């Protein structure tokens, strides 16, 4: 059984991106994965600072997240877009995890997604996330999800309202599972 993590770069209540992570987790479970839905609110990290790291060592939350990442076969990461880039939470989390030993980004296949309240659907944040993860050795699935108009993107049951988005989500989940089996 493949071990999969889902997480969002937003801890806001009713976050569209947190919802997207849960939707993808359900798809991955349906494909036979053992999914753990992470909420970064449960892993508080100080703002990354090498002086803090030298004085106090690694934060416990960073070590816990790195261990979870290192054990995962696949990771779905949803990120909102703030000012045409990643959220501070997303970047800070990646920065702290990347400092951990054991290559926490080198084993899993990453699936990426973004939901925005506007029409641009988080494509710039996804591009930045793909670039950052690629620079630290992460392998990413070719398909990503960019979901526009977050308030209308999901129905009352929590499923995509757009059949094209639903199909892309299914395709991404399949890619994550297939590639994770090949690693």
Q: What is the pLDDT of residues 33-68, one digit of tens each?
A: 999 999 999 999 999 999 999 999 999 999 999 999
How many structural domains compose the chain?
1
Is residue 31 within 8 Å of 19, Cβ to Cβ? no
- DSSP H or E run through 18: helix 16-30
Q: Does position 118 have pLDDT exceeding 90, yes or no?
A: no
pTM to 2 decimal places: 0.96
CA dist., res. 144 & res. 123, Å (int): 9
Element containing residue 131 per DSSP (H, E): helix 123-135
Predicted confidence at residue 45, as pLDDT, reads 97
CATH of the domain at 58: 3.40.50.360
Which tens digits make up the pLDDT trace of 65-82? 999 999 999 999 999 999
Q: What is the pLDDT of residue 29?
A: 98
Quote the domain boundaries for residue 170. 3-182
């Amino acid at each position: 059984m493949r071990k999969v993590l889902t997480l969002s770069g937003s801890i806001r209540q009713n976050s569209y991106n947190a919802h997207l992570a849960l939707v993808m987790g359900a798809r991955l479970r349906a494909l036979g994965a053992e999914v753990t839905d992470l909420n970064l609110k449960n892993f508080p990290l100080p703002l990354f600072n090498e002086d803090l790291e030298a004085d106090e060592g690694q934060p416990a939350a960073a070590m816990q997240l790195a261990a979870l990442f290192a054990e995962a076969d696949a990771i779905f990461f949803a990120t909102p877009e703030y000012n045409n880039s990643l959220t501070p939470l997303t970047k800070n989390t990646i920065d702290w995890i990347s400092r951990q030993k054991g290559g926490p980004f080198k084993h899993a296949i990453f699936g990426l997604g973004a939901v925005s309240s506007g029409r641009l659907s988080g494509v710039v944040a996804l591009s930045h996330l793909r670039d950052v993860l690629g620079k630290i050795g992460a392998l990413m699935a070719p398909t990503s999800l960019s979901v526009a108009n977050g308030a209308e993107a999901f129905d009352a049951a929590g499923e995509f309202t757009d059949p094209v988005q639903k199909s892309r989500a299914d395709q991404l989940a399949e890619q994550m599972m297939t590639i994770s089996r090949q690693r």
